[in-house]
Amino acid sequence: MGDISAQRELSKLFKPITETQKDIKESLVSELRPIKESLKELPAAPQLQAIAEPPEDEDEEERVMQVGKIAHKIPVRHSEGPP
């Protein structure tokens, strides 16, 4: 019997908190429901074609990275050693 009375006391003590949480939940759900419905009405995103890896050259022993003019200067400068 002691457990039941303790549970009732705790329920009375926490009732304002649980009621507030319930009200907040209902408010959030009512705000989110229209958003969810409008998202369903949006058109589907277009399917993009996957980027394919360039074909491998069987004769090429090592890979060469292709970079632009500016990016090319950086590795070259660092591969030459200290200035």
- Whether residue 72 is contained in a domain is answered as no
- Whether residue 32 is contained in a domain is answered as yes
- pLDDT, tens digit (0-9, with 9 covering 90-100), for 61-75: 666 667 777 776 776
For 1-35, give one letter per residue: b (16+ CB within 10 A) or e.
Answer: eeeeeeeeeeeeeeeeeeeeeeeeeeeeeeeeeee
Q: What is the pTM (predicted TM-score) of this model?
A: 0.40
- Whether residue 9 is contained in a domain is answered as yes
- Whether residue 49 is contained in a domain is answered as no
- Whether residue 64 is contained in a domain is answered as no
pLDDT of residue 49: 83
Domain count, the chain: 1
- What SS3 state is found at 1? coil
How far apart CA 45 and CA 43 sit, in angstroms, is 6
**Which stretches of the chain score pLDDT less than 70?**
1, 57-65, 72, 75-83
- Whether residue 82 is contained in a domain is answered as no
How far apart CA 79 and CA 73 sit, in angstroms, is 10
How far apart CA 14 and CA 55 sit, in angstroms, is 67
- Whether residue 10 is contained in a domain is answered as yes
CA dihedral angle for residue 59, residue 64, residue 67, residue 73, rounded to 10 degrees: -130
